[in-house]
Amino acid sequence: MLIGIACLAVFVVMAMLMYSRRISALLALPVMAIVMSILAGISEKEILSDVINQGATKMYSAYTTTMFGAVLADLMNKHGIAKALIRWVAEFSGDNQFVLGMVMTLATALLFSTLGGLGAVIMVGTIVLPALLSLSISSVTAGALFLFGISLGGMFNIASWQLYISVLNLEPASIIGFVVPFAAIIALIVVMFLVVELKNWNNLKYLALAVAVEFFAFPLLSQKTESQASTAAPPAELVGTTIVSVVFVALLIMAIFRQVRKAEKISGLALLTPITPLILVLVCHWDFIPAFLAGITYGVLTTWKRDSITVLTRSIIDGISSVIPAVVLMIGIGMLITAVRNPVIASAIEPVVKQVVPTTAISYVIIFTLAAPLALYRGPLSLWGMGSGLVALIQKSTSLGSNAIMGMLMSVGQIQGICDPTNTHNIWIATYLGTDTQTLLKKTAPYAWLATIAGLCLAVAFKFVPFG
């Protein structure tokens, strides 16, 4: 029992240090893993071989996938695909505040289903935010919409799914089955936010339309998404592979024509680059890395120029460099997970975790709703922070299944992804708009919390958590 209390004390101390910005999560996670192992009396040899050596490579699938995703994101930046898409959307939206706000949010979500990192936020934000401000949408509202778009797109970022797969041993179908209806709910909350912020009664018709669409579409999304995603349909995969081969040949011919004509302009087909990996994963059931490689190939061929090979090489180097902090963080996550899953530590903390973690539907919704702010500052409910260790303990010590834990993390993750004042993208957005992160926090928190409640209820509706 004393070992368990000591290990939890390490959690608390590290949380306070991260909250006060005296130590980063990059350092805090491996330090936690090593200190907890020492306190638990784990042998030096086991710490070196298991916690550090095996732990550092435990998340290899997640950070390898992240690297390939970063290459695609950097390629889109260098070829101007993201800028072209946003500008096209802005022209399409016209001068209607509500339409522009929603379309730009959805366009941001589309881009961040592939993009990631502060560089991408700056690149997209310098186009999206001025477009919103040009129609007299307030700066704080514009910033909040941009944050909603980033978070909504991040839910479909298949590179981030790999983290859930690695930590919780989930199948992609389980993630898809939850993400699609949850994203539909968040989209409705964004509509509600925009109606309230614009203070125009005429926009109520858009809210009514969104509610109607949600009412009819949600049952279909809830019942069909996971079953369709988990169906292994070999004929569909064969057809998908055949179509991909035909498309590749067509794009190769298109690239040759662009080379001959010395084309510089981005083609309309290039705008589909962000969703190419997603389609291959969802429809053709490809694995993540081949899907990203296909997306990179698609992006190169549809934007082919004389220097495309040079640009691709730079994208590989710059893209991977941009996600090194995330890779280092995942190495620390792997060490911490390995440490807390050690039988000595797990058995010591298990009694405490069992007392605190809810395992029935009503308590699951209430407790995690109230505890949602613990996802801020890389706290114990953030999978990208201390939560990585806590998740391992919950999974080992309680009756909560992987789906229930995933539903909880994605739900409370809306608070962290949208509102956290320490997010680099929140800081940049606030600075760019001439406001501060606390103002953005106050503006977005009620809606992010509402999304959290909706996600937890959705997990219960999907029977991830038993009622009794």
What are the tens digits of pLDDT across the range 133-167? 888 889 999 999 999 999 999 898 887 888 788 87
CA angle, 272 then 426 then 325, to 5°: 75
pLDDT at residue number 227: 52
Angle between helices 97-112 and 81-93 (to 10 degrees): 160
Buried b (16+ CB within 10 A) or exposed e, 351-377: ebbeeebbeebeebbeebbebbbbbbb
Residue 233 has pLDDT above 50, yes or no: no
pLDDT in tens, 105-141: 998 998 888 877 776 787 788 778 888 888 888 999 9
Token pair of 425 as six digits: 């993208």
Note whether 392 and 23 are within 8 A (CB).
no
Q: Per 3-state DSSP, what percentage of the chain is helix, strand, and coil (rounded to 5)? A: 80, 0, 20
N-terminal to C-terminal alpha carbon distance within the chain = 28
pLDDT at residue number 97: 85
CB atoms within 10 A of CB 233: 11
Buried b (16+ CB within 10 A) or exposed e, 258-275: beeeebeebeeebbbbbb
pLDDT mean over 259-271: 84
Residue 228 has pLDDT above 50, yes or no: no
- Mean pLDDT taken over the chain: 82
Residue 186 has pLDDT above 90, yes or no: yes
pLDDT at residue number 148: 95
pTM of this structure: 0.73
Residue 194 has pLDDT above 70, yes or no: yes
Distance CA 155, CA 170 (A): 15
> Mean pLDDT lowest for which of 8-22, 94-108, 178-192, 400-414?
8-22
pLDDT at residue number 248: 86
Note whether 168 and 402 are within 8 A (CB).
yes
